[in-house]
Amino acid sequence: MSVQSKYVCSECGKEFEITPEFMVCTVCSQKQKDDKPLKGILEVKYSAEGLYDIEELLPLEQSWIPDLPVGFTPLWTAEYLDDHKQLYLKDDTSNLTGSFKDRASILVAAFAKKHNIKEIVLASTGNAGSSMAGIAAACGLKATIFLPKNAPKAKMVQALQYGANVISVDGNYDLAFDLSLEYSKKHKLLSRNTAYNPLTIEGKKSVSIELFKQLGDAPDYVFVPVGDGVILSGVYKGFKDLLQFGFIEKMPTVVAVQAEGSAAIHDALQDGSFKKVDASTLADSIAVDVPRCGYYALKQLQKYAGQSVLVSDEEILMAQKELSEKAGLFAEPAAAASYAGYKKTKKAIDRDAKVVLLITGTGLKDIDAASRMLEFPQEHVKTIEDI
Ligand SMILES: *Cc1c(COP(=O)(O)O)cnc(C)c1O
């Protein structure tokens, strides 16, 4: 069997070889405007002959993928959570560094190894950085992470703990993004900036392949928490590959769940254009001013009749508490947003539909958010009579 792959620009269709030089389309990216999503996102396209396994549809030989506990995450139904029979939790808190981001990081690390690049660079405010730090550590690679100076401390701790080179930027995420790109170009290193490196989308598609394998078919609905829109795009990409090669027959309904205070993609789905927002939500992993993968994500939602729903911070916290108390799954706020979005829309869902919630990160990454819903014991006992 043989699988061929190439990059194709998602806007103009121009083709590129899959090499570390190409990240965004050389033509479309010239039209990049400030404060807008990335132009010229490249998509991996395959042609295959003979017998092959769907998991072989990768932009490099499967043998490059490091043997790490990433992906193949549990899919289960929580009996006491909800009365919908086929409500599945896809538990990506169980990845090596505790978030869905590992799916992208592992593919980028494999690509770096194949091309003999020793250092991976990225800008991140949170999980992408700590994920790349951990995966790089496990692959004998160096990770350099550009963090805005006001990034939450917990996220920095995880990256430093894994031994990453953390560069604190006197500015916001946009400045961190630009500096990280300059740095990776100057030193000929590999950038893992989300959406900018096409392999971040391609890596995240693995979740759809797994869902297909675990359920024996495509689900009917997938609820996805959305910030930059790369997870959403990866989910679509996986199902698109499955459709292209005849493994499934229909595209699931993908529901983009966004926080009310960070709703750029939801708003664009309503009125067709992107406006810069001043994101404000306690679900920091989905708080973005400019969704980097916005144009591509929007195109998928429009083409495949995707939906979107907004949830408030209060609804997110309630959902987070319920997931913990009724399913034993402690998710970070962004990850609990998919359950909050499901609760808001479930009336419209058929009783026998297969519904999947992506639970994208563990709650232990952000204990301050969860603490808001808790009552800590005020008194301390010394004897059994004190109780
Ligand atoms: C990054 C992240 C998201 C959102 O992914 P995007 O690709 O930015 O849309 C959701 N949940 C968690 C836990 C994340 O880390």
Counting other chains too, the contacts that 175-184 makes at CB distance below 8 Å and 24 or more residues apart are 175/148, 176/123, 176/124, 176/125, 176/146, 176/147, 176/148, 177/123, 177/146, 179/123, 179/146, 180/121, 180/122, 180/123, 180/144, 180/146, 183/121, 183/144, 183/146, 184/121
* Atom number in ligand 1 closest to CA 233: 7
> Cα of 335 to ligand 1 centre, how many Å?
8
Residue nearest to atom 2 of ligand 1 (CA): 285
Integer Cα distance of 166 and 180 in angstroms: 11
**Higher confidence at residue 370 or residue 103?**
103
Cβ neighbours around 236 below 10 Å, total: 28
Integer Cα distance of 218 and 211 in angstroms: 7
Q: Is the pLDDT of residue 48 over 90?
A: no
List, for residues 272-322, the tens digit of each pLDDT value.
999 988 999 999 999 999 999 999 999 999 999 999 999 999 999 999 999
Q: Is the pLDDT of residue 12 over 60?
A: yes
* Atom number in ligand 1 closest to CA 229: 9
Tokens, residue 308: 């979107």
What is the predicted pLDDT for the residue at 55? 86
Q: Ligand 1: which residues within 6 Å by Cβ? A: 99-101, 127, 225-232, 285-286, 332, 334-335, 360-361
Tokens, residue 174: 């946009």
pLDDT band of 1, cuts 50, 70, 90: low
* Atom number in ligand 1 closest to CA 101: 15
> Cα of 98 to ligand 1 centre, how many Å?
12
> Cα of 225 to ligand 1 centre, how many Å?
6
Q: Which of 228, 295, 338 to mutate to test the pocket of ligand 1 (most atoms within 8 A of CB)?
A: 228
What is the predicted pLDDT for the residue at 221? 98
Mean pLDDT in the chain?
95
> Cα of 90 to ligand 1 centre, how many Å?
14
Average pLDDT over residues 185-197: 96
Nearest to 162 by CA among 117, 225, 109: 109
Integer Cα distance of 98 and 128 in angstroms: 11
Residue nearest to atom 14 of ligand 1 (CA): 285
pLDDT band of 51, cuts 50, 70, 90: low
What structural domains does the chain harbor?
Answer: 75-99+200-371 (3.40.50.1100)
Which residue matches tokens 């994101």? Answer: 279
What SS3 state is found at 305? coil
What is the predicted pLDDT for the residue at 182? 96
Q: Which of 289, 360, 362, 366 to mutate to test the pocket of ligand 1 (most atoms within 8 A of CB)?
A: 360
List, for residues 142-160, the tens digit of each pLDDT value.
999 999 887 778 778 999 9
> Cα of 63 to ligand 1 centre, how many Å?
27
Cβ neighbours around 164 below 10 Å, total: 24
What is the predicted pLDDT for the residue at 351? 95
What is the predicted pLDDT for the residue at 50? 75
> Cα of 334 to ligand 1 centre, how many Å?
7
> Cα of 125 to ligand 1 centre, how many Å?
11
**pTM, 2 dp:** 0.97
What is the predicted pLDDT for the residue at 171? 87
> Cα of 313 to ligand 1 centre, how many Å?
16
pLDDT band of 344, cuts 50, 70, 90: very high
> Cα of 379 to ligand 1 centre, how many Å?
38
Please, which residues bridge with residue 169 across strands? Answer: 148
In the chain, alpha helices (H) = 102-114, 127-138, 153-161, 173-186, 198-204, 206-215, 230-244, 264-271, 294-303, 313-327, 333-345, 367-371
Average pLDDT over residues 126-130: 94
List, for residues 59-101, the tens digit of each pLDDT value.
999 999 999 999 999 999 999 999 999 999 999 999 999 999 9
Residue nearest to atom 7 of ligand 1 (CA): 230
* Atom number in ligand 1 closest to CA 331: 13
**Higher confidence at residue 63 or residue 174?**
63
List, for residues 244-269, the tens digit of each pLDDT value.
999 999 999 999 999 999 999 999 99
